[in-house]
Amino acid sequence: MAILEVNEIRKKFDKEEILKGISFSMEMGQTLSIIGSSGSGKTTLLRCLNFLERPDEGSITVNGDVLFFANYSKLDDKELRQKRHHFGMVFQQFNLFPQYTALENVILAPKLAATSKEEIEEITENGKELLRKMGLEDRMSNYPHQLSGGQQQRVAIARALALKPDILCFDEPTSALDPELTGEVLKVIKELAMQKTTMIIVTHEIGFARDVSDEIIFMDGGVIAEQGTPEQVIDNPTNERTKQFLANYLK
Amino acid sequence: MFVNVTLSLLEGFLGTLKLFLLTLVFSLPLGLIISFGSMHKRMIVRLPIRFIIWVVRGTPLMLQLLIIFYGPGIFLGMNVWGSGDGGRFTAALVAFVINYACYFSEIFRGGIQSIPKGQYEAAAVLGLSKSQTFFKIVLLQVVKKIVPPISNEVITLVKDTSLARVIAFYEIIWEGERFIKSAGIIWPLFYTGAFYLVFSGLLTLLFGYIEKKLDYFK
């Protein structure tokens, strides 16, 4: 069964329709990359999945549980927070909390939900383990401003993983990084892909998307123009727009 | 003579200090509430609040003191402040609290609005509630941003308390002036400056310390 099913998502800002009916599904353990030019709606789609935007139409189902159905009355705050736990989100600008250390950033949210001392200890241990996996064991007590962009983004990935989301979303995770720092972040994401973490990655790194993805979606003008395996979409595109986009990209 | 003058000026300074401290105690929280009002989604809440802030910031504090103290008697025909020094103090306190709350509210608003949207979004995707987001994420970042402008206002407040003498509130300048009539000497009035200077010096040190304490993050 598909872990995620997105059905006919539409979203308008003012009068302009940014998402014009997006449907796709993905399997557990898969990595899905969404590529496309700026303004094609890929970031908006990701933000809809994370409830940072509210779709006007359509539905989102995770593990058979309907998270969002546009005709529902407005979700209350508590319900919304429950549903959010299915998704983790890594932002382009990292958005770490500056007054907390790397470790505190990672464990803040699970700690707030914890009920016992033992649980907090477990959360702290788990947070340290995650940072170790990110190659940051000597950076745990550093504050964000003491870390490089690549290190900050790896902390942000650990922070998203700490809540054990079903699906981890990345919104252009390397776009705000110096070119020499993108490698360390991509490497971490690649490792996650090999460990069968279910991920959706909005990215401009076409080469990386080809390497790491099981499935690729090419978005154009608010619709899915082409979808398939990396071999299909990137190496043998059939849609004219995809060909154009990739040609510009590789130039 | 010098010791006598110092002692009576100190007594006057107690009045200054009382007005200063109580103004802070009430105007800081009131300012936070007003700042929420001035950022409210609904125009019907936001506009009246912004209007009040405009009026209060756009007129002299001395005039506000006079209107608040004499206004009720003249326009409503009733003495809401009671008689004597207690009444003068209450009226002065009300005027100062309203005035400073409006100034503080603008500082708070600037601080709160300067927090990047990404901080709220990160908190939201981590499942934090609105109050958790405000108290665990936003507040300390706001405090760090507003310490310098708040310290400015607080130091201005120390000196603004002297305006309360227009409604005959007893404070240090009042006490200093008394010596002109009673002893024919003017230097006690000038000497009051030293009290202000020492006190604002202490406040400067205090705010410098707070700023330094919050220096561990950026």
Interface contact flag, A95 B122, Cβ < 8 Å: yes
Whole-prediction pTM: 0.86
- In eight-state DSSP terms, residue A71 is T
Distance (Å) from the C-alpha of residue A149 to the closest C-alpha of chain B?
14
Asked whether the beta carbons of B168 and B64 are under 8 A apart, the reply is no
The per-residue pLDDT for range A32-65, each reduced to its tens digit, is 999 998 889 999 999 999 989 988 888 889 888 8
**B213 and chain A in contact, CB less than 8 A:** no
Q: How far is CA A146 from CA A49, A101, A141, B99, in A?
A: 32, 10, 10, 41
Interface contact flag, A163 B127, Cβ < 8 Å: yes
Asked whether the beta carbons of B12 and B171 are under 8 A apart, the reply is yes
The per-residue pLDDT for range A147-201, each reduced to its tens digit, is 999 999 999 999 999 999 999 999 999 999 998 889 999 999 999 999 999 999 9
User: Does residue B136 register a pLDDT over 90?
Assistant: yes
- In eight-state DSSP terms, residue A15 is T
Mean pLDDT of chain B: 92
Cross-strand bridge partners of residue A20: A10
B2-115+147-216 has which CATH code?
1.10.3720.10
Distance (Å) from the C-alpha of residue B171 to the closest C-alpha of chain A?
42
Which superfamily is assigned to A4-86+166-250 in CATH?
A: P-loop containing nucleotide triphosphate hydrolases (3.40.50.300)
Contacts of A198 (CB under 8 A, 6+ apart): A3, A4, A26, A28, A29, A30, A31, A166, A167, A168
3-state secondary structure of A168: strand
ipTM confidence: 0.91
Cβ-count burial A78-106 (b if 16+ within 10 Å, e if not): eebbebbbbbbbbbbbbbbbbbbbbbbbb
Distance (Å) from the C-alpha of residue B43 to the closest C-alpha of chain A?
20
Give residue A203's identity as a one-letter amino acid code.
T
Which of B132, B144, B217 lies nearest to residue A112, judging by beta carbons? B132
Parts of chain A belonging to CATH 3.40.50.300: 4-86+166-250
According to DSSP, the β-strands at A199-202 and A167-171 are parallel
Q: Kindly report the CA angle at A140 between B141 and A204, in degrees rounded to 5?
A: 80
The per-residue pLDDT for range B44-74, each reduced to its tens digit, is 999 999 999 999 999 999 999 999 999 988 8
What mean pLDDT comes out for the span A194-213?
93
Interface subset of B 91-120, CB within 8 angstroms of A? 116, 118-119
The pLDDT value recorded for residue A74 is: 67
What mean pLDDT comes out for the span A17-39?
92
User: Does residue B146 register a pLDDT over 90?
Assistant: yes
Asked whether the beta carbons of A102 and A139 are under 8 A apart, the reply is yes
Interface subset of B 135-174, CB within 8 angstroms of A? 136-137, 140-141, 144
Q: At what angle do helices B84-113 and B2-38 cross, to 10 degrees?
A: 50
Cβ-count burial B26-55 (b if 16+ within 10 Å, e if not): bbbebbbebbebbbeeeeeeeeebbebbee
Q: How far is CA A141 from CA A100, A136, B68, B129, in A?
A: 9, 10, 54, 26
Percent of chain B with pLDDT over 70: 100
The pLDDT value recorded for residue A72 is: 64
